[in-house]
Amino acid sequence: MDLTEIFSMAGTVGALSQLKFSEVLMDSQNRSAALFERGRKVIPDGVSSPMRAFAQVGRNPICAVSAKGSRIVDADGRSYVDFLNAFGALLLGHAPDEIVSAISEQAARGPVYGLSTEGEYRLAERIVASTPEIERIRFVCSGTEAVMTAARIARSHTGRNLLLKFRGSYHGHSDALLANPANLLSGAGNAKGVSKGISDQLNRDVLIVEYNDEQEVAAAFETHGASIAAVLVEPHATNMGFVKSKPQFHRLLRELCDQHGALLIFDEVVTGFRFRFGAVCTAFGVKPDLVTFGKIIGGGTPVGAFAGKAEFLDHVALGRNVFQSGTFAANPLTVAAGNAALDLLGKPGFYEALEEKGAFVEGLLRAGFAEHGIPFVVSRHGALLGLAFRDSAEPLLSYRDVKTQDYKLFEQFHIQMREKGFLLPPSLEEPIFLSAAHTHEDLERFAREAVQTLHALRSESVPA
């Protein structure tokens, strides 16, 4: 039986999910690996975004062919329970029927016009209404563009150049946000997203301190406060694995920005609409000046947005100080998918059900770790989950803590979980993304296999 026959026999992703890996007969060469080698001839590393190369876990990337609900199927017919979920874009899981229908209907009317649409205005109104801290919003095509433009607005509004961000954070690949000063206040390199090709001046226009470190932040403002245009921060850090913020941390940032005339930018590309219907800043009781969105508000299509009070957003109005443009910004397909996604997210009980699922899998992991003597901390907020791969009862609080983890153990864990049919983010510095499509059976199997896999790997590493 060849791959074509298997797909014909299975018919759907649901049927494929019942096939064991051993039942998928392949040529002598793995098809995903063969496609990867083909891609490497015309695309650097064979991927269009670096994390897809799976280099941090020592395996070839997965070439996907289809996905539905909580499962994704690769080019070899293997089905995985997906905890990558497009790096957090798919809070609803893969291909919800309502979103597929909305995109199909819009595609038949035209995928892009280069003009505004009623759907764009409706999506903007709904997001603004969801978050009292914002008054206006403008759409772009990616989180990178959203944060890049928010930083540009902050510099325009304040007339200053310095941006303060946090070690280990990632806010997209624009020059200003990949800048890496030679002498950091935290005393060590940023070690994430480091890139050549960025001007020395931009490197001088960025300050980097440790996340959750109130003393370092206060020291940075004490020395540079008059030059800081903005502080750029995630409500919870999601590019260090999952690092929860201290309750008082963002309040301190707000106070320091107010004292020194800087703007506070919440990067909610990952967290926006993940924990509540709107930005999480509302739940935090902190009022940022600018908020960026992405991922979830696009319903699985390319999207980004920057939002805030009118006095800040008006910088991009015609004839004002900040230029921003994009042919595909608020394109009809994204707008249709976004509105369909918000329809689903806004249903009564949606976030309560997500919280219940998150608590369910967290409880199973904690119980399993306790039973097998695995001293790893489990961190969670809503549908975001993190495991700290180190022998410590203390949670991760900063990138300094993140780098104390056992990266080799995570690599082995990732490989074995992949063989067992679970797709995890291919980096210890990415969180585990839960979705509304995950069933309790999915979560129970994941927790059981994760505990057993870690117990076995740790037992093997202990000298006899």
Positive or negative torsion for Cα 295, 91, 358, 72: negative
Q: Which whole-number Å values give the CA distances from 111 to 145, 299, 325, 459, in the listed order?
A: 21, 15, 18, 54
CA distance 172 to 304: 11
User: Does 121 participate in catalysis according to the annotation?
Assistant: no
Say if residues 130 and 349 touch (Cβ distance below 8 Å): no
Here the tokens at position 349 are 């009980």
Provide DSSP, 272-283: TTTSSSS-THHH
Candidates 170, 211, 351, 399; catalytic one: 170
Here the tokens at position 429 are 């510095």
Candidates 82, 205, 213, 267; catalytic one: 267
Candidates 289, 295, 357, 401; catalytic one: 295
C-beta neighbour count of 125 within 10 angstroms: 11
Say if residues 200 and 129 touch (Cβ distance below 8 Å): no
Here the tokens at position 254 are 């707000």
Nearest to 294 by CA among 313, 268, 257, 256: 268
CA distance 140 to 435: 24
CA distance 94 to 115: 29
C-beta neighbour count of 328 within 10 angstroms: 17
The H-assigned helical ranges of 274-380 are 281-284, 310-313, 332-345, 350-372
Rg for the chain, CA atoms, rounded: 22
Question: What residue type is 210 in one-letter code?
Answer: E
Edge-to-edge strand list for the sheet holding 71-74: 64-68, 71-74, 79-82, 422-423
User: Does 170 participate in catalysis according to the annotation?
Assistant: yes
Angle CA 240–68–419, to nearest 5: 60
CA distance 247 to 242: 15
User: Does 351 participate in catalysis according to the annotation?
Assistant: no
Here the tokens at position 413 are 């864990």
- Residues annotated catalytic, as ranges: 170, 267, 295
